[in-house]
Amino acid sequence: MRERLPVEVWVLVAASFIIAVGFGIVAPVLPVYAATFGVGHTAIAALISSFAFVRLAFAPMSGKLVNRFGEPNVYIVGILIVAVGTALSGFSGSYAEMLTWRALAGVGSTMFTVAALGLLIRITPAPLRGRASGMWAAGFLIGNVAGPIVGAGLVPFGLWVPFVSYGVMLCLAAFVVWFFLRRSTLAALDKSNSDTPMSVREAVKHRAYRATLASGFANGWAVFGVRISLVPVFVIEALKHSPAVAGISMSVFAGGNAAMLFLSGKIADTRGRKPVAIAGLVVSGLATIWMGFTGDVWTFMAASLIAGMGAGLLNPPQNAVVADVIGARGKGGPVLAGFQMVTDLGAIIGPMCAGLLADSFGFEASFAITGAALLLSVAFWFVAPETLPTHEEEHTAAAVAPECGCLDESAEVPTGERVGGKPRHPEA
C-alpha cells in the first residue's frame, strides 16, 4: 500500500502558508521602513541580521524547550511571540526601537522554526521525508508569492499596516495549529521515549550532516539574508524601480522556489538526497551571481526566477538529510537547533558582508560573493554519503557511523531493530 502523509503534516503546511503570506507582506517593506530613520545600507542590513542573530543565540534553548514541552506547544508560543514583536515594530519611533522589537520577534521565530522541523521529522515516515519537507516549504513559498504583492498594496495606507497585518496572520496560524493538533496522538509528546537526545557533537561527525551545515550556511546567507536586505534596495537604486516592483521580484523568486519543491521532494525520496542538493546549489549559485550583473528589470526577474528554482531544489533534500541523521533516535531538538543556528549565522554574516561590499565596491561584488558561497558548499556534498533510507536498507546512522566511530558494531541499529539477525529500518 502506498504510504500517505499524515494529516498533521497538512496542518503544518497550512500554517506555514498563513505565516508566509504575512512574512511576504512585511519583507519588502522592512528595509524601506528602516530607511525612513535616515540610516544607510549597512544599518538596514544590520536590522535584518539582528533578527537572525537573536535566532542564533536562542536556538540551543529552543531545542531544549522542544524536547521538554513538545513541538506543538513551543510552536504556538513561538508564533505568538513573533506576532507581538512584529506588530509593535510597525509603531517604532526610532531605528533603535525597531531593532528591539525585531530582536524579540527573532526569539519566537527560532522557537516555532525548530519546533516545526522537529514535529515534521517525528510524524513523517522516513521514505516520505523529502516530500513532506517539500510540501511544508511549498506552503511557505506559495504564501510568499502572494505576500509581497499584498504588502505593496497595503503601503499606501501607512508603513505600519503591513506589520500589524503580519501579526494578525501569525495569530491565525497559531489558532490553526492549536485547533487541529490539540487532540492528535501522533503530535503529542512521547513521554515514554527515554532515549538521550542526539547531540550536535555526535551529529557533526557525520559527513552528511556537515554537508547540510555548509549548504545551510550558504542558503541562509543568500535566501534569508541578502534576498531580504539587498534585493529591494538593488531594484530601487540600481534598476530605478519602485518598492512595488521590488516586492514583485521577491514573489518571482518565491514562485520559482515553490515550483521546484514538489519535484525536488519526490526525487529526493526516490533517487537520493545528494544529487538534488548539489544541483540546487549549482543553479542557485550561478543565478545569484547573474542577478548582480543584470541591467534591466526583466533580466533581473529571469535571474531571480532561476535562483528561486535552485533554492527550491535544495531545501527538501537538505532537510531530509537532517532527519535521516537523527533517524530512530526521535529526539533531535539539539541537532535541529544546530542546523538552524548555522543557517542563521549565514543570515547574519551575509547581509552585513553584502551591505559593506555594496557600499564599497557595488552591487556586483555583493551578489558575486553570495553566489560563490553557494558554489563552495557543493564540495561538502560531493564527499557526503547518500542517506536515503528504504525499508530494505539499514538507516544512515548505521551506514556512516563507522567513519566517525560514534557507534560500535553491536549498536548499529537501535535495540529491537534487528529481524532475523539483519538490520531492519526503524520505520518499517
Tens digit of each residue's pLDDT (9 = 90 or more) over 159-206 = 778 888 888 888 988 888 888 887 776 666 555 555 566 777 888 889
Name, of 21-35, 320-334, 355-369, the range with top average pLDDT: 355-369
pLDDT bucket at 422, cuts 50 / 70 / 90 = very low
Residues 273/320, Cβ–Cβ less than 8 Å: yes
CA distances from 332 to 117, 326, 343, 371, 426 (A): 10, 6, 17, 31, 16
Tell me how far apart the alpha carbons of residues 173 and 192 are, in angstroms, rounded to a whole number. 29
Residues 165/154, Cβ–Cβ less than 8 Å: yes
Which pLDDT does position 408 carry in this prediction? 38
Widest distance between CA atoms in the chain: 71
Mean pLDDT of 92-99: 83
Residue 54 has pLDDT above 90, yes or no: no
Report all structural domains of the chain as residue ranges with CATH numbers, in order of start.
7-182+198-388 (1.20.1250.20)
Mean pLDDT of 372-399: 74
Residue 75 has pLDDT above 80, yes or no: yes
pLDDT bucket at 215, cuts 50 / 70 / 90 = very high
Alpha-carbon torsion (267, 269, 270, 275), positive or negative? positive
Work out the mean pLDDT of the chain and round it to a whole number.
78
Residue 286 has pLDDT above 80, yes or no: yes
Residues 6+ apart with CB under 8 A from 372: 285, 289
Residue 158 has pLDDT above 80, yes or no: no
Residue 277 has pLDDT above 90, yes or no: yes
Q: Show the DSSP H helices in 237-293 as ranges.
A: 243-270, 273-291
Residues 219/227, Cβ–Cβ less than 8 Å: no
Cell 504510504 locates to 3
pLDDT bucket at 156, cuts 50 / 70 / 90 = low
Name, of 71-85, 126-140, 274-288, the range with top average pLDDT: 274-288
Mean pLDDT of 392-401: 41
Q: DSSP class of residue 237?
A: I
Residue 423 φ/ψ, nearest 5 degrees: -60, 135
Residues 89/22, Cβ–Cβ less than 8 Å: no
Residue 411 has pLDDT above 60, yes or no: no
pLDDT bucket at 278, cuts 50 / 70 / 90 = very high
Tell me how far apart the alpha carbons of residues 372 and 382 are, in angstroms, rounded to a whole number. 16
Grid cell of 411 as nine digits: 549498536
pTM: 0.70
Residues 354/233, Cβ–Cβ less than 8 Å: no
Tell me how far apart the alpha carbons of residues 100 and 106 are, in angstroms, rounded to a whole number. 10
Name, of 130-139, 154-163, 408-417, the range with top average pLDDT: 130-139
